[in-house]
Structure 1
Amino acid sequence: MTAHIRVKVCGTTSVTDAVQAAEAGADALGFIFAPISKRLVTVEAARAASLSVGPVVARVGVFLNQGLDEVLRTAERARMSAVQLHGDLSSLYVSEVARYHPVLRVLRPADLRGNADALEVLDLPGVTLMLDAPEPGGGVPLDWEALRSVFPAGAWLAGGLGPQNVAAAIQALNPAGVDAVSRLESSAGVKNHELVRSFVLAARSGLSADGA
């Protein structure tokens, strides 16, 4: 099993939520800049939240099919330390972003089965794979058992994770990191701090929130 699994709390929109997640032990915070997201954060709010936590906590800007200049400019202005890329993107685009920031490249389970173009990212310097559900942020978990034989070593896992199931997901796939958003919220973009604490604890201890 992973000695120290990385824990990311995504969909951060405020200083209060950023500070609380950092104090709970999260390794990374996600700030969503994709315009279609109901958790969209402004550059100004993301910058304030980013500056409210210490440099040990990674600040990850999340983008979907956005132009290279927009991604790099937004990440710089918002003081992001890494970038998470969703969408239909070429390996050349991903590698260009990785020249400036560490990249979490998000793929879907279907991409692991015979999609050579998508899997080229696994060989790019500065790029780490994250496997997510077809509808990111939708709260629906992946079929971890079906992924056992194809889940790449060193990849991150997202998709419907929360305090109740993250330990089982880690046991099934041994990811390098886990990422959650919808199951940690009181409402879209507003964190439930008790759920955030429980999620981090469950990921660290290997126990679900109910002790199983």
Structure 2
Amino acid sequence: MTRVKICGTTSVHDAVLSAEAGADALGFIFAPVSKRLVTPQVAREASLSVGPAVARVGVFLNQGLDEVLRTAEAARMSAVQLHGPLSRLYVEGVAAYYPVLRVVRPADLAVEAGVWTGVSGVTLMLDAPEPGGGVPLDWEALRPHFPPGAWLAGGLGPANVAQAIRVLRPAVVDAVSRLEVTPGVKDPAAVRAFVRAAHSAELESYPQ
């Protein structure tokens, strides 16, 4: 069953909004270059506001191992999402403490799927070359290389998430830019519509 992650959470209000809409996971971006940067203190408050049933994913880009682990602990994250050209040793170092989402680009999917499939504590997440840019991927072209259990991001929104699920059957769909009023501020109607659309696709794809 495909689950839903709402990324770019920057406030307690938006964390509660997403959780009440039915999100299974929230993403908190700690990469300094992001327009959706959140402090560990705010992320911790948001994490505590939604309870343990909702996964809290810390998003990092080319940051030191100690910084990642320290921030994830302070913010009460339950998993870590890693972007950037990172070594296997680094990724496995994080995976020793947290479940890891290893983010890959479409051009690298086939190779990275071979590297990480079956590695304990590491799950692949396919994202656009420019994460958060709102540009959808070519799901049909990627279908032969998309591994079971992988997560999917990249230009997803209420209007296209059902089709993405039907084509690739990802474990989790992840959205941010198409669910916002401005970067870092969620559009409540779009968040609810995204969750509804993903759940509707579940009903169509997995008839009871």
**CA–CA distance in structure 2, aligned partners of residues 29 and 140 of structure 1:** 20
User: Does 2:149 match 1:151?
Assistant: no
Q: Which residue of 2 aligns with 1:197?
A: 192
Shift of 1:112: 2.1
Counterpart secondary structure, 1:80: coil
**CA–CA distance in structure 2, aligned partners of residues 122 and 73 of structure 1:** 27
Shift of 1:124: 1.8
- Picking from 69, 73, 76, the partner of 2:73 is 76
User: Does 2:140 match 1:128?
Assistant: no
- Picking from 126, 137, 140, the partner of 1:142 is 137
User: Does 2:141 match 1:169?
Assistant: no
Structure 2, unaligned stretches of length 5 or more?
203-208
- Counterparts of 1:13-92 in structure 2, within 5 Å, are 13-92=10-89
Alpha-carbon contact 1:102-1:126 (below 8 Å) kept:
yes
Shift of 1:153: 1.1
> How many residues in Structure 1 have an aligned counterpart in Structure 2?
202
Counterpart secondary structure, 2:38: coil
Structure 1, unaligned stretches of length 5 or more?
208-212
Alpha-carbon contact 1:91-1:121 (below 8 Å) kept:
no
**CA–CA distance in structure 2, aligned partners of residues 35 and 65 of structure 1:** 10
**CA–CA distance in structure 2, aligned partners of residues 200 and 146 of structure 1:** 25
Give, as a single letter, the amino acid of the residue that structure 1 aligns with 2:185.
V
**CA–CA distance in structure 2, aligned partners of residues 168 and 126 of structure 1:** 28
**CA–CA distance in structure 1, aligned partners of residues 55 and 10 of structure 2:** 15
Q: Which residue of 2 aligns with 1:187?
A: 182
Shift of 1:10: 0.1
Give, as a single letter, the amino acid of the residue that structure 1 aligns with 2:140.
E
CA-based RMSD: 1.2
User: Does 2:95 match 1:98?
Assistant: yes
Give, as a single letter, the amino acid of the residue that structure 2 aligns with 1:124.
V
Shift of 1:148: 1.4
Shift of 1:123: 3.1
Alpha-carbon contact 1:11-1:189 (below 8 Å) kept:
yes
Q: Which residue of 2 aligns with 1:210?
A: none
**CA–CA distance in structure 2, aligned partners of residues 6 and 101 of structure 1:** 19
Shift of 1:89: 0.6
Alpha-carbon contact 2:28-2:43 (below 8 Å) kept:
yes
Shift of 1:44: 1.0
CA distances 1:21-70 after superposition (whole Å, capped 9, x unpaired) = 00111000000000000000011111111110110000000000100000
Give, as a single letter, the amino acid of the residue that structure 2 aligns with 1:141.
P
Alpha-carbon contact 1:91-1:120 (below 8 Å) kept:
no
